[in-house]
């Protein structure tokens, strides 16, 4: 069995930081200690470098929404993320697990380079089908089920009654209900208003999805979770008030969690105003916010009001040219931005290096907590004996600039073009195998594995059933 010894690195976990050696045997971490014997080992000296668990990106779109599928998943590895969790769409008339298996077969098997897992997305408003679907999810390694409050008039949209029914049923099997919180009716009304006023440019996307659209839906979603008496996970939180509602619910004793995403911490709505339709590159849902919201979100992730940072990666097929489908109508600009490759770099450089979060908090937000939310900690998200040997050796001395020429995400532009990069993922190991080195992919494509999730994941840790 192949043995790897990483010596003298500064190991960073979600709760500690210390210098030690890591012994890897095969695909697993065997031992952590001081001056471990080198006999029979490939030895890597990590003196002066940080060693942390491979990133877990619990929010990516690989195929749905007209985005590139898992053939671009090696981009995650280049940026230090070793496991991604995709949202599997439900197909009309099929159960959630049937849809997931079809989606995996079409988009992931033989194409995924990093390890992967799935959340399930409700996209058929048949309540009987939903009730039949939910029990089999946990049996097949799915711990989270997602409902959309936005996208009225599309298969994504779910009414409040269906969501409450689904939440209550999901709880019976230890599944966490995830919500995309935007009021679909508000968006529809505002989009019609601004189009009637002659607004065509990408800023119209922001105007039709102001903070109140998310605030109202987040508050309402929390009330639905209270009615269903279930844990709740709010995805891609972008506003001060939405975060406040989550915080207040937790303080009241409810099991309400939330995540935000890289772009909501680092980009603002001024990007929509870039000339020559460049603003179209940044159209995503929810929309980018003003800088005061960014500051509040950094405070939120630091203090634990928000639990994780995902990428919400959705690299639209055709890139900028596809975005131009909405050049005369902002409502037709495809939603989504590429982002999984540079998630860790952006959070490290804009967060850790600017003293907004600690190195331990960085690991917690980008690896450990996402793994816990998905129910596969400590297999993933940890450097512990018995964990998968998903390891990043990070050299903090190598500076650079994020640019499209280094991008593996399939798109024809880089979301974070021109941002400083402080440090580099010098070596990235997936289950003990070197997959990326100094910004280059060196692994074998298509060798990623499906990772089963366990029910009763992190949001159930603080869940206490309410007395009737």
Which of 212, 214, 234 has its CA nearest to residue 163? Answer: 234
At 291-347, the pLDDT tens digits run 999 999 999 999 999 999 999 999 999 999 999 999 999 999 999 999 999 999 999
- Strand ranges in 189-248 using DSSP code E only, listed in sequence order: 232-234
At 468 the pLDDT is 62
In which element (H, E) is residue 319 found?
helix 319-323
As a whole number of angstroms, the distance between CA 371 and CA 308 comes to 10
Given a contact cutoff of 8 angstroms between Cβ atoms, the answer to whether 52 and 59 are in contact is no
Pairing mode of beta strands 256-261, 17-25? unpaired
Cβ contacts of residue 47 below 8 Å, gap of 6+? 7, 8, 9
Pairing mode of beta strands 42-45, 17-25? unpaired
Which of 319, 336, 422 has its CA nearest to residue 59? Answer: 336
As a whole number of angstroms, the distance between CA 144 and CA 454 comes to 10
At 466 the pLDDT is 86
CATH for 54-379, options being 3.30.365.10, 1.20.810.10, 3.40.50.300, 3.20.20.140: 3.20.20.140
Which of 165, 97, 164, 158 has its CA nearest to residue 133? Answer: 97
0.95 cut: is pTM over it? yes
- What are the φ/ψ torsions at residue 367 (nearest 5 degrees)? -140, -60
At 368-396, the pLDDT tens digits run 999 999 999 999 999 999 999 999 999 99
At 118-176, the pLDDT tens digits run 999 999 999 999 999 999 999 999 999 999 999 999 999 999 999 999 999 999 999 99
Indicate the domain borders of the chain.
Answer: 54-379
pLDDT at 467 over 80: no
């Amino acid at each position: 069995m192949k043995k790897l010894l990483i010596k003298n690195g500064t190991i960073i976990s979600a709760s500690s930081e210390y210098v030690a050696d890591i012994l890897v045997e095969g695909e697993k971490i065997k031992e952590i200690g001081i001056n471990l014997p080198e006999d029979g080992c490939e030895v890597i000296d990590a003196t002066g470098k940080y060693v942390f668990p491979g990133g877990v990106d619990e929010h990516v779109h690989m195929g749905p929404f007209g985005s590139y599928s898992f053939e671009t998943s090696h981009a995650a590895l280049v940026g230090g993320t070793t496991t991604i969790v995709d949202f599997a769409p439900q197909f009309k008339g099929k159960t959630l697990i049937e849809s997931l298996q079809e989606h995996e077969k079409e988009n992931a098997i033989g194409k995924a380079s990093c390890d992967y897992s799935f959340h399930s997305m409700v996209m058929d408003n048949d309540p009987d089908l939903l009730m039949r679907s939910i029990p089999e999810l946990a049996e097949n390694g799915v711990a989270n089920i997602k409902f959309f409050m936005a996208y009225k008039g599309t298969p994504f949209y779910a009414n409040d009654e269906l969501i409450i029914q689904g939440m209550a049923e999901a709880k019976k099997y230890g599944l966490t209900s995830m919500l995309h919180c935007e009021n679909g009716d508000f968006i529809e009304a505002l989009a019609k208003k601004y189009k009637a006023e002659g607004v065509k440019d990408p800023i119209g996307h922001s105007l039709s999805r102001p903070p109140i659209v998310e605030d109202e839906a987040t508050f309402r979603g929390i009330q639905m979770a209270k009615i269903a008496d279930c844990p709740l996970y709010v995805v891609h939180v972008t506003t001060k008030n939405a975060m406040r509602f989550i915080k207040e619910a937790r303080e009241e004793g409810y099991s309400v969690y939330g995540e935000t995403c890289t772009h909501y911490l680092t980009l603002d709505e001024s990007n929509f105003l870039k000339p020559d339709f460049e603003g179209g590159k940044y159209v995503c849902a929810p929309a980018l916010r003003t800088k005061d919201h960014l500051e509040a979100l950094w405070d939120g992730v630091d203090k634990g009001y928000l639990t994780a940072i995902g990428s919400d990666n959705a690299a639209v097929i055709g890139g900028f040219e596809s975005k131009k489908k909405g050049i005369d109508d902002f409502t037709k600009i495809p939603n989504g931005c590429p982002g999984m490759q540079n998630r860790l770099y952006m959070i490290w450089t804009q967060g850790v290096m600017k003293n907004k979060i600690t190195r331990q908090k960085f690991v917690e937000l980008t690896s450990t907590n996402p793994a816990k939310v998905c129910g596969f900690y400590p297999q993933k998200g940890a450097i512990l004996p018995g964990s998968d040997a998903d390891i990043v050796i990070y050299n903090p001395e190598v500076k650079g600039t994020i640019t499209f020429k280094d991008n593996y995400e399939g798109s024809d532009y880089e979301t974070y073009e021109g941002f400083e990069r402080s440090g580099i993922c010098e070596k990235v190991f997936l289950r003990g195998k070197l997959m990326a080195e100094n910004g280059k992919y060196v692994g074998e494509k298509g060798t990623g594995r499906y990772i089963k999730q366990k029910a009763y994941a992190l949001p159930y840790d603080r869940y206490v059933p309410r007395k009737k």
